[in-house]
Amino acid sequence: MFNMIKMGYSRQLNGANIIQLPKNLDRRGNLSVVEEITNIPFEIKRTYWIYDVPGGAVRGGHAYRNNEEFIVALSGSFDVVLDNGLSRTTYSLNRSYYGLYVPKGVWRQMVNFSTNSLALIMASIPFDPSDYIYNYEHFKELSNKELGSNIS
């Protein structure tokens, strides 16, 4: 099982946290890596990326019932705003050697994309439209019921 203590994983909003990735420093250029279970607490079933984001655009604005994600700013910077229905935390991503673990059952938005930013997202389940919760009030109701066990 994923070793939270070994990974420097502390309990933040529902277990969301910044995870540092291995960094191979090299005069020829640096290299970082993500391995499922070893570096992030889930098996990777899907990878997608967000790019060519126009200034001021907001991505996300939904929660997942089951999907967990790990988000890396491969290039440029952006903020990820997480909300568990009770409190809200903003995580700034601007380096390619760390990322944000986003647990299931958390409302998330991605904002403040810099020019030419590139967001890489690893996901724990295949794409499933029925996994999305798009209505914030509905999300809050669910947070208090079926997703309630995730709220710290």
Residues that are catalytic? 62
Q: Indicate which single residue of 60, 77, 97, 140 sits in contact with ligand TYD (rule: CB under 6 A).
A: 60
Minimum distance, C-beta of residue 110 to ligand TYD, in the bound complex (Å) = 6
Residue 69 or 85: which CB sits closer to ligand TYD? 69
Whole-Å CA distances, 142 to 25, 47, 80, 81? 44, 27, 21, 19
Do residues 81 and 88 make contact, with C-beta atoms less than 8 angstroms apart?
yes
Residue 31 or 48: which CB sits closer to ligand TYD? 48
Q: Indicate which single residue of 50, 74, 81, 111 sits in contact with ligand TYD (rule: CB under 6 A).
A: 50
Binding to ligand TYD, residues 83-142 (CB under 6 A):
127
Q: Indicate which single residue of 23, 45, 46, 65 sits in contact with ligand TYD (rule: CB under 6 A).
A: 46
Amino acid at 3: N
Count residues contacting ligand TYD (CB under 6 A)? 6
Residue 51 or 148: which CB sits closer to ligand TYD? 51
Give residues in contact with ligand TYD (CB under 6 A): 46, 48, 50, 59-60, 127
